[in-house]
């Protein structure tokens, strides 16, 4: 199944951006942790306040989950720099330019691109 289909299926389950990133990562790492997926709900919609994007927060968590040492050194910075350059900020409100309707057009692609970037940094092949 292609990445966009996997994301869509997880969205249909009711998962938000941060939960989708972690669910994909756990699956591709061959791990299971439903409690972690539930806990990632805390990052939905920028901590429910339009702040730190849950997609970015979850991708950083995924880096640590896969390789804590590398994430502490070069991977986290590389991901954060890429994300800022690509999406124009770290906060949900900045990314969607204060317009909730922009989430419909921005977030699905952002989730896919960010997951692919995290996988690339980890040399992880998405299923």
What is the number of domains present in the chain?
Answer: 1
127 domain residue, yes or no: no
Q: Is pLDDT above 80 for 3? A: yes
59 domain residue, yes or no: yes
- The pLDDT assigned to 127 comes to 79
CB 57 within 8 A of CB 72: no
| Residues 88-101, mean pLDDT to the nearest whole number | 88
126 domain residue, yes or no: no
User: DSSP string spanning 45-96?
Assistant: HIIIII-B-HHHHHHHHHHHHH-HHHIIIIIHHHHHHHHHHHHS-SBHHHHT
Q: What is the pLDDT of residues 6-61, one digit of tens each?
A: 999 999 999 999 999 999 999 999 999 999 999 999 998 777 777 899 999 999 99
CA–CA distance, 73 with 96 (Å, rounded to integer): 29
Q: Is pLDDT above 90 for 70? A: no
CA–CA distance, 122 with 124 (Å, rounded to integer): 5
- The pLDDT assigned to 48 comes to 74
Question: Percentage of the chain with pLDDT > 90?
Answer: 71
- The pLDDT assigned to 29 comes to 94
Provide the token pair at 97. Answer: 């330019």
| Residues 109-118, mean pLDDT to the nearest whole number | 96
Average pLDDT, the chain: 91
> Domain of 8?
3-120
CB 22 within 8 A of CB 40: yes
Provide the token pair at 96. Answer: 């969607």
Q: How confident is the model at residue 83 (pLDDT cuts 50, 70, 90)?
A: very high
10 domain residue, yes or no: yes
């Amino acid at each position: 199944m292609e990445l966009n289909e996997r994301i869509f299926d997880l969205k249909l389950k009711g998962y938000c951006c941060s939960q989708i990133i972690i669910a994909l990562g756990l699956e591709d790492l061959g791990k299971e942790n439903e409690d972690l997926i539930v806990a990632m709900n805390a990052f939905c919609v920028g901590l429910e306040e339009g702040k730190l994007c849950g997609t970015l927060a979850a991708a950083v968590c995924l880096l640590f989950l896969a390789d804590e040492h590398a994430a502490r050194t070069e991977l986290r910075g590389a991901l954060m720099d890429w994300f800022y350059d690509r999406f124009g900020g770290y906060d949900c409100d900045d990314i969607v330019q204060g317009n909730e309707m922009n989430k419909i057009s921005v977030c699905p692609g952002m989730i896919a691109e960010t997951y692919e970037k995290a996988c690339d940094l980890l040399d992880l092949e998405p299923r």
